[in-house]
Amino acid sequence: MTHHRGLTADDSVATAAAVAETLFADAAERDVAAAFPAAALRLLHESELMMAPFPVRLGGTGLVEPAAVDALVSVLRLVGGGDLSVGRLYEGHVNAVALVGRYGSAAQLERLAEDVRAGGMSGVWNAEGAEPAGLVPEDAGWRLAGRKILASGVGSVSRPLVPVARDGVTLMTLPRLAPGERADLSRWTAQGMRSTATGTVDLAGLPIGPDDIVGRDDDYRRQPTFFGGAWRFCAVQLGAIDRLLDLYRADLVRLGRGADPYQRQRVAACATAAETAALWVGRAAGMVAAEARPVAEILAYVGLTRGVVERAGLDTMEAVHRGLGLGAHLRPHPVERVCRDLATYLRQPAPDGAMADAAATVLASPEPARTLWRPA
Residues that bind ligand FAD (CB under 6 A): 88, 92, 123-127, 150-152, 193, 196, 198, 344-345, 347-353
Integer Rg of the chain from CA: 21
Q: Nearest distance from residue 303's CB to ligand FAD, in Å? A: 12
Q: Nearest distance from residue 137's CB to ligand FAD, in Å? A: 25
Of 74 and 126, the one with the shorter C-beta distance to ligand FAD is 126
What would the DSSP string read from start to end of 5-65?
Answer: ----HHHHHHHHHHHHHHHHHHHHHHHHHTS--HHHHHHHHHTTTTTTTS-GGGTS--TTS
Instruction: Tally Cβ neighbours within 10 Å of residue 270.
Output: 25
Q: Nearest distance from residue 196's CB to ligand FAD, in Å? A: 5
Can you tell me whether residue 236 is helix, strand or coil?
helix
What residues are paired with 205 via a beta bridge?
A: none
Of 127 and 330, the one with the shorter C-beta distance to ligand FAD is 127
Of 209 and 353, the one with the shorter C-beta distance to ligand FAD is 353
Q: Nearest distance from residue 113's CB to ligand FAD, in Å? A: 21
Separation between Cα atoms, residue 342 and residue 352, nearest integer Å? 19
Q: Nearest distance from residue 30's CB to ligand FAD, in Å? A: 13
Closest residue to ligand FAD in the complex (CB): 352
Of 9 and 162, the one with the shorter C-beta distance to ligand FAD is 162
Of 89 and 288, the one with the shorter C-beta distance to ligand FAD is 89
Q: Nearest distance from residue 88's CB to ligand FAD, in Å? A: 5
What would the DSSP string read from start to end of 325-358?
Answer: GGGGGSTT-HHHHHHHHHHHHT--S-HHHHHHHH
Residue 146, by phi and psi: left (phi above 0), alpha (psi -120 to 50) or beta?
left
Contact 3, 59 (CB under 8 A): yes
Separation between Cα atoms, residue 38 and residue 88, nearest integer Å? 14
Residue 376, classified by CB atoms within 10 Å of its CB into exposed (0-12), middle (13-18) or buried (19+), is exposed
Return the closest-CA partner of residue 182 out of 164, 208, 166, 158.
158
Instruction: Tally Cβ neighbours within 10 Å of residue 187.
Output: 11
Q: Nearest distance from residue 37's CB to ligand FAD, in Å? A: 13
Of 13 and 177, the one with the shorter C-beta distance to ligand FAD is 177
Of 223 and 348, the one with the shorter C-beta distance to ligand FAD is 348
